[in-house]
Structure 1
Amino acid sequence: MVIGIIRRGKEILLVRESLGAEGEVLWSLPGGGVEDGELLHEALRREVREETGLLIADPARTAFLVHVDSEQYPSALAAAFEVEQRSGDQCPAAQ
């Protein structure tokens, strides 16, 4: 799983998606799964584009790594990256 941290001044971009145990819509950082054969930075660009409409450059640096162990994602690794360069117009309904 990849996660993007996209800042504008002191603000951080969040997206709303169905993440709760009961399917409730929650706020989260943009990101998602990595497809077979896909590099982490490629997955991050794809996921951010799908969720926000923004085009991003390769991430500037790794922000943090976290091990996820849940029923939906047993023993998964989430990698969060700082994103400094982006273009395009933010679109709330990019999908």
Structure 2
Amino acid sequence: MTYQINHVAVGILRWNDQFVLVQQQYIKEKPPFWVLPGGIVEPGELITEALVRELAEETGAVVESIGSLAYCMQIDHPARREQTIAYCFEIDSWSGVLQSADPDNEILSVALVPLADALQLLESIPWLAVREPLLAYLKGDCPAGTLWFYREHEGIQVQISKVKGTR
């Protein structure tokens, strides 16, 4: 039984008290949503290389220094025989002009958003396993380095366990 494993690199870009968010639309029939920038690690890439590439493509940001691991999340999709493992990093320093050059044409816009507004926008992320760890981390409800584990059954993601990081 072969499973495909997709690794995803995601970055938290801060500018003063604001966060860089991207408005994304995967399926044209579904409404767009706001999320942190990031994407799939390509074959032969290290996670950090994919992080730098994805942030440049989706936001125009040039990553100068990657910070700590904010959290890691794993979703098991047994019906698809697939797993997704996402690594979300703080970006310590970056430069550049915010504008998307997304080759997949899934990014509709890029914005700097104050934390309160970002939290509200991120509530609309359609997947629990993406939304829950991100909001918990940004609200300070979960320490950096927390590992989140989910399993999907009939299209519904359920948290199986969580291993808290250290403060």
Shift of 1:94: 2.5
Q: Which amino acid aligns with 1:42?
A: E
**Aligned partners of 1:19 and 1:26 also within 8 Å:** no
Q: Residues 1-95 of structure 1: matches in 2 within 5 Å?
A: 1-19=8-26, 22-70=29-77, 74-91=82-99, 93-95=100-102
TM-score by length of 2: 0.51
Q: Percent identity?
A: 35
- Residues 73 and 9 from structure 1, CA distance in 2 versus in 1: closer, same or farther, beyond 3 angstroms? farther
CA RMSD of aligned residues (A): 2.3
Q: Which has the higher contact order (CA 8 A, sep 6+)?
A: 1
Give unmatched runs, 5+ long, in structure 2. Answer: 1-7, 103-167
**Aligned partners of 2:65 and 2:94 also within 8 Å:** no
State the aligned residue count. Answer: 94
Q: Could you tell which deviates more after superposition, 40-49 or 5-14?
A: 5-14
Shift of 1:75: 1.6
Computing the radius of gyration over CA atoms, which structure comes out larger, 1 or 2? 2
Q: Could you tell which deviates more after superposition, 71-80 or 25-34?
A: 71-80
Higher percent of residues as helix = 2
Give unmatched runs, 5+ long, in structure 1. Answer: none
